[in-house]
């Protein structure tokens, strides 16, 4: 059985239609969460490409296993 490394990133991605932005800080928080999530995805993509031909992990002795980013939405607050 192949064990995959999952990196769970809990980041604000969506806002319910009924929610209203009360401050400019809320808008910045939403934008920043999108930037952080895309940066995490790019970092892991680069790491996966860099280790594409890695045959053995130095710590575990197992072949390199692709890492994934799992994004989930959350409410403001």
pLDDT digits (tens, 9 = 90+) for 8-67: 444 444 545 445 557 888 888 889 988 999 999 999 999 999 988 888 878 888 888 889
User: In this predicted structure, what is the pLDDT of residue 35?
Assistant: 93
29 neighbors 4 (Cβ within 8 angstroms) = no
Length of the chain: 77
User: In this predicted structure, what is the pLDDT of residue 76?
Assistant: 62
Pairwise pLDDT comparison (71 vs 19), residue with the higher score = 71
Both tokens of 71, joined, read 């994004």
Asked whether the whole model's pTM tops 0.75, one would answer no
User: In this predicted structure, what is the pLDDT of residue 16?
Assistant: 52
Residue 26, burial from CB neighbour count under 10 angstroms (0-12, 13-18, 19+) = middle
- Report phi then psi at 69, rounded to 5: -105, 130
Both tokens of 14, joined, read 């969506």
């Amino acid at each position: 059985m192949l064990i995959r490394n999952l990196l769970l990133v809990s980041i604000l991605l969506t806002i319910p239609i009924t929610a209203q932005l009360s401050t400019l800080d809320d808008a910045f928080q939403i934008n920043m969460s999108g930037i952080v999530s895309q940066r995490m995805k790019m970092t892991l993509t680069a790491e996966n490409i860099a280790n594409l031909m890695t045959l053995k992990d130095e710590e575990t002795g197992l072949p390199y296993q692709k890492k994934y980013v799992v994004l989930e939405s959350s409410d403001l607050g």
